[in-house]
Amino acid sequence: MWAMMLQSRQGRAFLDPRTKMLLVITITSIVIGGGNGGAMNIIKPVLTAVPFLLFVVERKWKTAMTYVAVYIAAFSGELFLVPITRGFLNFIVVACCGMFSRFMPGIAMGSYLVSTTTVSEFMAAMERLGLPQKLTIPLSVMFRFFPTVGEEYSAIGDAMRMRGIHFGGGKPGKMLEYRMVPLMISCVKIGDELSAAALTRGLGASVKRTNICRIGFGVFDVLVMLICILGFCILIGNKCLG
C-alpha cells in the first residue's frame, strides 16, 4: 500500500524537505534538551518513533531495525541498570545509555534528512523559505559534504591501519596530525572540484535559478507539522510552569 501511495505522488518525496528540517529541529530540541515529566512523557516516545516510521516508509528495513534495537537496548539499560549500579560503573552506564537514548533519535532523523533529500531539493526548499544565498549555499554544501568527509575519514583510517598506525599506539598528537592533515587536504581538493562544478551549473549567477524538483506540502507534511507544533507547545509550557 505504501509503495502505491509513494508512486501516486509521481516522484515527489514522501515529505517536503522543509518538513524534514522542522522534524530534525523538533526532535533534537525536545528529545535532547527537553527535560522530563508531564506531557513530555507522551511526546518524547512519539517523536522517538517518528524516524523509525519514516525508515519503514522508505523501506530501509535494516536501518529501521538497527535503530529500534539500539534504542531498546539503551532505554532498558537506563531503566534497569542505572538504579542498581553505583560509583564509577554508574557513570559509564549513564554515559553510554544516556548518549544513545538521547542522541539516537536526532542522529537517525538527521541521517534520514541527508539520505533522502537531494541537494537540489534542499536548495529548492531553502529558496522557497526565502533565505538569503549567503546562508543557503554554505548550508547545502555542508549537507552535501557530511557523507564525503565521513567516507574520506574511513578511507584514511583504513590506510593508517594497514601501516600499523592506530589509536592506543601512543603519541596522540601525532595521531591527530596523521589523520587531520590528509583528511583536510583531500576535503579541500574535493571542495575545489565541487565549487567548479557548481559554478558551471550557474550557482550564484545573477539570474534566478529554476529547479525541476517538485516540492510542496501534502497530507503527511501537515500531520508531521502538527506533531512538531504540539511538541514545541508542550516544551514551552513545561519551561514556563516548571
Partner 1 sequence: MKQKIQPKDLITVGVFLAIMFIVCMGVAMLGYIPIFIPLLSVLVPLIGGIPFMLFLTKARKFGMVLIMSVMIGLVVGLMGMGVWVIATAPISGILAEIILKSGGYGSVKKSIFSYGVFSTWVIGNYIPIVVTRDNYFSMLVSGYGQEYAETLMGYIPDWSLIPLLFASFLSGILGALIGRELLKKHFVRAGIA
Total Cβ atoms within 10 A of residue 198: 16
Instruction: Select from 10, 36, 200, 210 the one that contacts partner 1 (CB under 8 A).
Output: 36
Cα 16 to Cα 7, 35, 46, distances in angstroms: 15, 29, 20
Site string for partner 1, 63-102 (x = CB under 8 A): -------------------x---x---xx--xxx-xx--x
With beta carbons less than 8 A apart as the criterion, state whether 18 and 222 touch.
Answer: no
- CA angle (212, 215, 216) in 5-degree steps: 145
187 binds partner 1 (CB under 8 A): yes
Instruction: Select from 188, 212, 219, 240 the one that contacts partner 1 (CB under 8 A).
Output: 188
Residue type, 172: P
The C-alpha cell that represents 132 in the structure block: 538569503
Composition of the chain by helix, strand, coil, percent to 5: 75, 0, 25
- Residue 211, SS3 per DSSP: coil
Question: How far is C-alpha 61 from the chain's CA centre?
Answer: 18
Name the residue nearer to partner 1 (CB basis): 188 or 219: 188
| Calpha distance 129→172 (Å, rounded) | 44
Select from 2-10, 149-157, 210-218, 220-228 the region that touches partner 1 (CB under 8 A): 149-157
Question: Please, what is the minimum distance in Å from the beta carbon of residue 94 to partner 1?
Answer: 5
Residue type, 190: I
Binding positions for partner 1, 190-219, rule CB under 8 A? 190-191, 194-195, 198-199, 203-204
Question: Please, what is the minimum distance in Å from the beta carbon of residue 103 to partner 1?
Answer: 9
240 binds partner 1 (CB under 8 A): no
| Calpha distance 154→152 (Å, rounded) | 6
Name the residue nearer to partner 1 (CB basis): 162 or 188: 188
Binding positions for partner 1, 107-146, rule CB under 8 A? 133-135, 137-142, 144-146
Chain position carrying cell 517538485 = 214
Question: Please, what is the minimum distance in Å from the beta carbon of residue 204 to partner 1?
Answer: 3
Q: Which residues bind partner 1 (CB under 8 A)?
A: 24-25, 28-29, 31-33, 35-37, 82, 86, 90-91, 94-96, 98-99, 102, 106, 133-135, 137-142, 144-146, 148-150, 153, 176-177, 180-181, 183-185, 187-191, 194-195, 198-199, 203-204, 239, 242
